[in-house]
Structure 1
Amino acid sequence: MSDLLTPTQVDPLEAEQAAALDRDGYLLLRGAVPEAWRAALCAAFDAGVGTPDQWASPRGVGWRHALVDLDPTVQRTCRLPPLLAAAGRMLGGPFFLCQVEGREPLPGGGHQALHRDGAGLNAVAALVFLDPYGPDNGATRVVPRHLDRGEPDEALSLVLAGEAGDILVFDADLLHGATRNRSGARRRSLLLSFMPERNRPDEDACRAIRGVRMDTSEVFVPCAISSDSGEGGA
């Protein structure tokens, strides 16, 4: 664990949410982002959209990408208690915020095959929706863990729908994928990831190619672990 900071204690997830997350491998946090923050997040996204050469590695075709990780409201959003609680539930030990960037499917673009962000990868991903989302404008679809048969099966996938301010948090090993933005309506989101503290050296080694500029030194610790170890929260 990093010795630079006192670990930040993460409170446990509510029992009903924890049960749903354990069963499905994902949790949709409705209205989790305070309404007062949403305009600032949209402004940060739009200000962060640039030309392809602002990224060290190529970005996916059919998507708009935004550099947002230095924005203070983005950073506050990544630390919302329910989001950290869900990440702590899945990771079960000390973890850190690895990356956050903006993504938006362009009109007619965005479709992804069902995939896992890394088979066996011990990581948590989250999407913070900045616009209403649904099957017409590129919403994410997921295969709940209890339905997963191992191989991608579109018949088992659920297309999510909701409003700006919702957060989808999920196991990076969960089958998921964006749908096509058929309507052309905006569907901006923040994509972020949390990793176990033990993964820090590998992630630090590729910061530049991933376009990470923010300070990632903060360590989050689920409260049960904090209590056992005697470490206080920040």
Structure 2
Amino acid sequence: FLSTGPVDRVQRPVKLIVANERALAAGTRYVDADLNRLFPGVPDSDVHEEQLAHALHNKIEDCMTLGIHATVSFAEPFGTLADPTPLKTDLMRALPVDYAADFSGVVEGRSVNLGQFINVEAGYQGSASAVENAYGCLLAYLRATDVLPGATDPTPTVHYRVDEPIRKAPDQSYEVCAENFDRVPSGEAYAVSAAGGQLTADEPFWPVLLSADGHETLLGYRARRVGTLGDTAGQS
């Protein structure tokens, strides 16, 4: 954005922050611990990311903020948030994303738990499409917050309420056989362990962040599709 974007059209101050430069330079997700589990942070910690979480929280505490991540679970961009407010909902729907996962009451220590924060998972890590998706979301967000001129067309973003994590068995590897944001019917397998055991749905659910390799202890999350974000539609 700073080198080739419409910088000359910026209408008001905005902060662009690279969250963990030491990890970026090392080519790793984190140095000591996962930053996105540690908010609001600890200022005098010996853990790099705990100090960093505190510093970042202070930088953005009074700002509405868009976080941009990449994932190993899904090619298309999608949003994540918690405790939706009218402002969070409007900004999420201003982004070019078809899905939004609501983690209210399910996670803690995440950036989405902060009061004025929404997040986008831009696509597969290291892919050109994730870069393109992230840039498109950034421009839409800057227009929606009047940093850049121009209107945004609300997207009919589908709201998925996350219910609980799907945990891996210790020392077990898996292959997933369901697609994120697609309904898994009751009794259908959504993952198979290396030993041949199937994980089947006790009741219908929609997977979110489902991936064999995305996390050491989690396969992903079970969610419900509850309608269009911002509407009061019931469960589908």
Calculate the TM-score normalised by the size of structure 1: 0.21
Rg bigger for which structure? 2
